[in-house]
Amino acid sequence: MSHRRATYGWVLPIAIALGRRLRVIIYARYSTEDQNPRSIDDQVAECRRFLQSLEIDLSRCEIRVLSDRAISGEEVSRPGIDEVRAAIRDGNVDLIVTEETSRLYRRQRPCLDLVDGAVDNGVRVICINDQVDTADEEMWEERLASSVGDAARTNRRTRQRINRSLISRFEMGAALGPVRPGYLRRATAPATEREPARGPFFDEVDPEWAPTIEEAFEMVASGKPPWIVAQWLNERGLPKTSNWQRPEWTEPNVVALIRNRIYVGLGVFRTTVAQQIRSTGKTRQVPNDPEEILVNELPHLRIVSDSLRRQAIEAIDSRARSSVSGSEHVLYGIPRDSRGPLSRIIVCDICSHPLHATGRNEGGYRCRGANKRDCWNRTTALRQLTHERIAEAICQALLEFLPEAETLLAAARVQLEDTDRLDARLAELTTQHEEATAKYEQYGEAVGEGGDIVILVERLRHFEELRAGIDAEIERLRAERDVVVVPSYDELRQSILDRSRRIELMDRDARADLVDIVEEIRAVPFQQFGGNKVVLRAAIHLNLTGLLPWTVRSYIESLNEGSECVSVTTEFQKLIWVDLFNASNSPRYAMKVRALREAGRKFADIAGSLGLAEMAAKRADALGKEMRAAGLTDPFVRLTEPPANASRWRDTRRARNNSTDNGEADAA
């Protein structure tokens, strides 16, 4: 046996059935654009070498490579991992191979859910570096839980170190973020033939463009509209910040330029902070505590005077419809697409893109992927009808849950009163603290003995911060043990009733209540049997543990880090289907009319009892006969691929372009 084969001695044999190919998915991922894109190729090559070392004939395998580039492993939904999940669900894979568990997820809950789902569907999962092989029934769960827990903790510590490094660079006056218009960036160590430029990097005023910046301020201060200034900047060719989406200057760009304090020699850092959305793993920027915002005087970067900037801002404010601007404005930090109650909650079942609210008046919901031609699901649902149906269904579910609410409270009390679990968690944290202290003392002794002082001091800082973080977690758990209280049934009942009333209004403020209890709403396309009409139904996934106060949920999740807790039990999850359309008479009454006809009733009697015209009753009966012959009870059939024909799905843009081309040809 080769040395390479011995390295993988923990892997159980992988058998290929006679007469069929082994369906393998190799999954790879890296987190940020700053990382080497070749990382994907290297991971895939490592997985292939792994399979070859097990003496597997790759020619007898059907290997599919799926990847996510520059996407954090904390995000629950990613294009590549969503395809992996779909392959597991549809039974299109036998074996999933990845370099390590952190490539799948850097959060415990979604990683465990993915692997558990694979095992339940008979799919084998191997994470090479973590020695996880789900075929090993005795060891795989323990190894997976350990490795994914380490990945999550490592990610948190990495963020802390990055934040600390950024603050240090800001305090020393180094550059953060992309180069702003009017400045040049210099490296501490310039690039050579062999080595790229190295930081920290520092900005300085660009003498070529500083006069243009100052003149733009003067134009705005004099009362010229920002859109006029934007046109002028485009004519002058002033370079924009590299991360802006459009190359040309626009009115909002000019306003942002005027409000930026860097042009009066003040650096501002951490005006917003990243807040993680636990349900999706993504982050959003929220306004920071004013006391936490850092300001640094950088007089060498001043381009305009304080008085000129103040006049320019006053001119902009005088043109605004609202006298309140900046972070004090009621819509500050809220994108236009995030102002509806269902924003980023309702997604397309085909491509998982969010549904966007379109249209000003009647309006409707439509898949963002369809707008960009990335998804075939062009079905729409009227906005008001969608809001009414979803609100009605969720409110009804909440009211129906009232008699069972005591069950949820009892489950929460069991978790909170489990002193053994708290003691185990505190013991685990204490052990981690002792290990960090031992490492800290070890590196402290190494400093006295000589060596690379820079590296040793950096490691001392790391373990010092690690101990401080563990101390804070221990202190928080002990402090919250006596103050976190499960509400009474009457309190929870009143909270549910209040939440139901707010959701019933279905305005923007209702979104906060929906996010707590709605894991996801999937808009699923259905086609009317025997017709070309395509409609949407909403599959509402409720997690009623969100009805508990946030303090209770947070404390329980801390106690159960790395294990199943009340917030993820299926006992309090519910799936509701809702029609986001009004069915016509034929599909609505098809089975009812057919049953009455089979009972010997005449069409005239049936029509009268149902309030239909006799011809409408006959059309409904004809559809009912066809459905009975096809073995259907539902007149709408779920779509998983583009329909051969669909009503009102004609691509108007393409048709318009074709007509324009034909018109030009005729004119020629």
Check pLDDT > 60 for residue 179: yes
What is the structure's pLDDT at 357?
Answer: 84
| Max mean pLDDT range (183-192, 467-476, 487-496, 567-576) | 487-496
| Max mean pLDDT range (275-279, 447-451, 506-510) | 506-510
What is the structure's pLDDT at 481?
Answer: 72
Do 526 and 570 touch, CB atoms closer than 8 A?
A: no
Q: Higher-confidence residue: 164 or 47?
A: 47
What is the structure's pLDDT at 325?
Answer: 58
Instruction: Assign 7 a pLDDT band (cuts: 50, 70, 90).
Output: low
Instruction: Assign 332 a pLDDT band (cuts: 50, 70, 90).
Output: low
Check pLDDT > 70 for residue 360: no
SS3 of residue 178 by DSSP:
coil
Q: Higher-confidence residue: 168 or 332?
A: 168
What is the structure's pLDDT at 655?
Answer: 47
Q: In this predicted model, what pLDDT tens digit does every residue of 610-649 receive, in sequence order?
A: 999 999 999 999 999 999 999 999 999 999 999 988 877 7
What is the structure's pLDDT at 629?
Answer: 94
Instruction: Assign 525 a pLDDT band (cuts: 50, 70, 90).
Output: very high
Q: Higher-confidence residue: 380 or 340?
A: 380
Region class of 333: left (phi > 0), else alpha (psi between -120 and 50), else beta:
left
Check pLDDT > 70 for residue 33: no
What is the structure's pLDDT at 34?
Answer: 52
Cα distance between residue 223 and residue 230, in whole Å: 14
Q: Which of 244-248, 349-353, 378-382, 560-564 shows the lowest per-residue confidence on average (mean pLDDT)?
A: 560-564
DSSP for 292-331, please give it. G-EEEE-GGG--S-HHHHHHHHHHHHHHSSSS--GGGSTT
Q: Higher-confidence residue: 420 or 480?
A: 420
Q: Which of 103-117, 176-190, 504-518, 597-611 shows the lowest per-residue confidence on average (mean pLDDT)?
A: 504-518
SS3 of residue 591 by DSSP:
helix
What is the structure's pLDDT at 351?
Answer: 94
Check pLDDT > 90 for residue 290: no
Q: Which of 95-104, 153-162, 305-314 shows the lowest per-residue confidence on average (mean pLDDT)?
A: 153-162
Q: Higher-confidence residue: 416 or 233?
A: 233
Check pLDDT > 80 for residue 428: yes
What is the structure's pLDDT at 445?
Answer: 76
What is the structure's pLDDT at 568?
Answer: 44
What is the structure's pLDDT at 663?
Answer: 46
Smallest Cα–Cα separation from 636: which of 354, 379, 355?
379
Check pLDDT > 70 for residue 569: no
Cα distance between residue 469 and residue 456, in whole Å: 20
Instruction: Please state the pTM of the whole predicted model.
Output: 0.48
Exposure of 291 in the CB half-sphere (CA atoms within 13 A): 0
Cα distance between residue 384 and residue 364, in whole Å: 8
The neighbour count for residue 538, using CB atoms within 10 Å, is 23
Q: Which of 40-54, 219-233, 473-487 shows the lowest per-residue confidence on average (mean pLDDT)?
A: 473-487
**Which residue stretches of 560-613 are H helix?**
585-598, 603-610
Mean pLDDT of all residues in 193-213? 88
Q: At what angle do helices 419-448 and 453-481 cross, to 10 degrees?
A: 160
Q: Higher-confidence residue: 294 or 484?
A: 294
Check pLDDT > 80 for residue 158: no
Q: Higher-confidence residue: 528 or 455?
A: 528
Instruction: Assign 321 a pLDDT band (cuts: 50, 70, 90).
Output: low
Beta strands in 339-448 (DSSP E): 346-348, 355-358, 364-367, 380-382
Q: Higher-confidence residue: 198 or 220?
A: 220
Phi and psi at residue 344, to the nearest 5°? 65, 10
The pLDDT mean for the chain works out to 84
What is the structure's pLDDT at 668?
Answer: 34
Structural domains in the chain, CATH included, are 3-157 (3.40.50.1390), 183-187+201-333 (3.90.1750), 340-579 (no CATH), 585-634 (no CATH)
What is the structure's pLDDT at 182?
Answer: 93
Mean pLDDT of all residues in 305-324? 75
**Which residue stretches of 26-107 are H helix?**
38-53, 79-90, 101-104
What is the structure's pLDDT at 279?
Answer: 67
What is the structure's pLDDT at 466?
Answer: 81
What is the structure's pLDDT at 521?
Answer: 96
Instruction: Assign 563 a pLDDT band (cuts: 50, 70, 90).
Output: low
What is the structure's pLDDT at 664?
Answer: 42
SS3 of residue 590 by DSSP:
helix
Check pLDDT > 90 for residue 125: yes
DSSP for 8-20, please give it. TTTSPP----TTS
